[in-house]
């Protein structure tokens, strides 16, 4: 039996508990998730290395999943452009059953091997891309179709599951199995399994963006200044890194065309915008290599 489908002895009788005891019970189960993720640290790091190398070579990261797992992939992909100023193509996600499945369950979609193959073709996967298949059980025919087709194209394949005996394992270059144990409610993999998957996806996308220079220290230096809040955040970042005033930060941010990296190089290296861009291009836009 798949672990997430097993009966959890710690939560038997949860239907008769008070609200506070329900909260404490779920919280106690959730405490196990971070430790389960920790046990897969090496494999997660391997996935980050695959993805960051792909990014540096013009490749993309593409998530595939069904149900909750697919929705988590869409969530992570959708958050990358505003956070890291990545293109819409750089991190993408496909869910079994198509866009409708984001808001309404499409029964049977995860059982279609052919749909998995079709989604890989639709995504125009290339040999320099990395495909991440996400599934609590790791057994859907949809994902097997995705992984077999992606592998045949030459793409690297990562599997993210909560089951070491997952069928997708044999198709993976990197296999991440975060075994969180039986769910609070038997089979409700949106709970501990979903939390574990969200944590790992955060690590893969964030770690990969860090490796290619989209973070300086622990600051989002590629954030898009698309509203007042983000302009103010950009100013705070410039003030902190350059140890300058709010007035100077805004001045150089405006001079740069609201690009934090360009503004910082202009300010800290005392160069004009064109020279700042040239210096960043020489170092693949890794700010640390320009300003130290």
Catalytic residues: 79, 110
Largest CA distance in the chain: 68
Q: Which residues make Cβ contacts (< 8 Å) with residue 251, sequence separation at least 6?
A: none
Q: How many residues are listed for the chain in this entry?
A: 292
d(CA 136, CA 55): 27
Question: What are φ and ψ of residue 197, in 5° steps?
Answer: -65, -40
CB of 143 closer than 8 Å to CB of 170: no
Is the Cα torsion angle 179, 142, 158, 151 positive or negative in sign? positive
CB of 136 closer than 8 Å to CB of 162: yes
Query: Which segments of the chain are extended strands (E)?
Result: 61-65, 91-95, 130-134, 156-161, 174-177
The SS3 call for residue 219 is: strand
CB-count exposure of residue 177 (10 Å: 0-12, 13-18, 19+): buried
d(CA 259, CA 284): 15
CB-count exposure of residue 207 (10 Å: 0-12, 13-18, 19+): middle
d(CA 216, CA 221): 6
């Amino acid at each position: 039996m798949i672990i997430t489908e097993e009966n959890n002895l710690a939560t038997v009788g949860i239907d008769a508990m008070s609200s506070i005891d329900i909260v404490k019970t779920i919280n106690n189960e959730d405490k196990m998730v971070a430790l389960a993720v920790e046990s897969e640290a090496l494999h997660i790091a391997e996935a980050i290395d695959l993805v960051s190398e792909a990014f540096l070579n013009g490749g993309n990261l593409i998530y595939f999943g069904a149900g909750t797992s697919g929705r988590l992939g869409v969530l992570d992909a959708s958050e990358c452009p505003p956070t890291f100023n990545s293109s819409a193509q750089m991190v993408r996600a496909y869910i079994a059953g198509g866009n409708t499945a984001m808001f309404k369950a499409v029964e049977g979609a995860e059982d279609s091997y052919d749909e998995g193959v079709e989604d890989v073709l639709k995504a125009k996967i290339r040999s320099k891309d990395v495909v991440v298949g996400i599934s609590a059980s790791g057994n859907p025919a949809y994902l097997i179709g995705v992984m077999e087709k992606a592998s045949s194209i030459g793409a690297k394949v990562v599997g993210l599951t909560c089951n070491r005996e997952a069928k997708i394992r044999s198709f993976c270059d990197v296999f991440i199995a975060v075994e969180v144990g039986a769910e609070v409610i038997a089979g409700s993999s949106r709970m501990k399994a979903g939390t574990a998957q969200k944590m790992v996806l955060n690590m893969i996308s964030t770690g990969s963006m860090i490796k290619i220079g989209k973070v300086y220290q622990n600051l989002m230096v590629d954030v898009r200044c698309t509203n007042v809040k983000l302009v103010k955040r950009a100013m705070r970042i410039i003030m902190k890194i350059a140890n300058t005033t709010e007035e100077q930060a805004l001045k150089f941010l405006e001079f740069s065309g609201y690009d934090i990296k360009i503004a910082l190089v202009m300010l800290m290296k005392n160069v004009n915008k064109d020279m700042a861009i040239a210096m960043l291009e020489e170092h693949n836009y890794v700010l640390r290599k320009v300003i130290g």
